[in-house]
């Protein structure tokens, strides 16, 4: 039996368990539950990433000294900062691991709800719906069948609102953290600044990381595009995971 068939069976079984509570939307609830389980599995890594970012913040006095010492030699400064991180066993990319480890689950879900057949038989999961919106359809299908204010269109509208609110929350939090870090100057970074590695200094000395961190506050808004182009089941995964991330970061960096 293929991995996709095993996964389809798992989703069907979860949907059967949830059917008494969620009725026709049981499969959608199963996807949300599956997403929560995935996030629980990677939560220890998220906590480790938070500890790593705090450890990086503790190194800022040493990083500041390296900046002063190698102010005229950017390449030497980069090597010195990387050596410092390696010596203290602090990875500037540790915060990326939770997201990277979720990719297989997302692509598996995407492939499942993009396939008309699974294990040599019809993919019955495509017949499941969320409040009238088929889990295998995309936003363009919703617009073609009922328009933006049809049953499926309203489901997508609700998802877009959730993503926009979560992205806006993250953006405002990052802007406040930026202001706090700038006001603190060379002092100890605040907890809010720790939530964004770019604010705790040293990012520009890690090749390529500074550019990634500068655009990071805007990445949640790209989730709107993802929700619009992937099957509804995969969109549910993205929305649930994005919301989880916002809550998790607010707790870990409070």
pLDDT mean by block of 10 residues, the chain; 254 residues:
88 94 94 95 85 73 81 80 73 68 91 90 91 94 92 95 91 72 49 49 48 65 91 96 90 80
What values do phi and psi take at 21, rounded to 5?
Answer: -90, -40
Residue 84 contacts residue 195 (beta carbons within 8 Å): no
Per-residue confidence (pLDDT) for residue 217, from 0 to 100:
66
The rounded distance, in Å, linking the Cα atoms of 148 and 150 is: 6
222 Cβ neighbours under 8 A, 6+ residues apart:
none
CA torsion 66-69-73-75 (nearest 10°) is -20
Per-residue confidence (pLDDT) for residue 213, from 0 to 100:
59
The rounded distance, in Å, linking the Cα atoms of 98 and 95 is: 7
**H/E stretch holding 15:** helix 3-22
How does DSSP classify residue 108?
Answer: H
**H/E stretch holding 109:** helix 97-112
How does DSSP classify residue 206?
Answer: S
Per-residue confidence (pLDDT) for residue 202, from 0 to 100:
45
Per-residue confidence (pLDDT) for residue 185, from 0 to 100:
44
Per-residue confidence (pLDDT) for residue 150, from 0 to 100:
93
Residue 203 contacts residue 210 (beta carbons within 8 Å): yes
């Amino acid at each position: 039996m293929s991995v996709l068939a095993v996964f389809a069976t798992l989703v069907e079984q979860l949907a059967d368990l949830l059917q008494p509570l969620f009725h026709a939307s049981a499969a959608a609830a199963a996807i949300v539950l599956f997403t929560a389980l995935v996030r629980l599995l990677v939560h220890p890594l998220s906590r480790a990433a938070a500890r790593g970012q705090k450890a990086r913040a503790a190194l800022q006095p040493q990083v500041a000294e390296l900046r002063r010492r190698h102010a005229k030699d950017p390449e030497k400064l980069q090597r010195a900062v990387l050596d410092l991180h390696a010596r203290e066993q602090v990875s500037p990319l540790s915060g990326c691991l939770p997201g990277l480890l979720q990719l297989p689950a997302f692509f598996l879900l995407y492939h499942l709800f993009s396939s008309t057949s699974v294990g040599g038989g019809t993919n019955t999961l495509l017949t499941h719906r969320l409040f009238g919106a088929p889990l295998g359809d995309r936003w363009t299908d919703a617009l073609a069948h009922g328009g933006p204010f049809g049953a499926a269109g309203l489901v997508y509208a609700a998802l877009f609102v959730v993503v926009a609110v979560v992205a806006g929350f993250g953006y405002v939090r990052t802007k406040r953290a930026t202001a706090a870090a700038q006001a603190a100057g060379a002092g100890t970074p605040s907890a809010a600044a720790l939530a964004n590695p770019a604010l705790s200094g040293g990012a520009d000395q890690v090749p390529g990381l500074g550019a990634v961190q500068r655009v990071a506050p805007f990445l949640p808004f790209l989730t709107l595009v993802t929700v619009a182009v992937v099957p509804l089941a995969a969109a549910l995964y993205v929305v649930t995971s994005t919301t989880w991330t916002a809550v998790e970061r607010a707790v870990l960096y409070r």
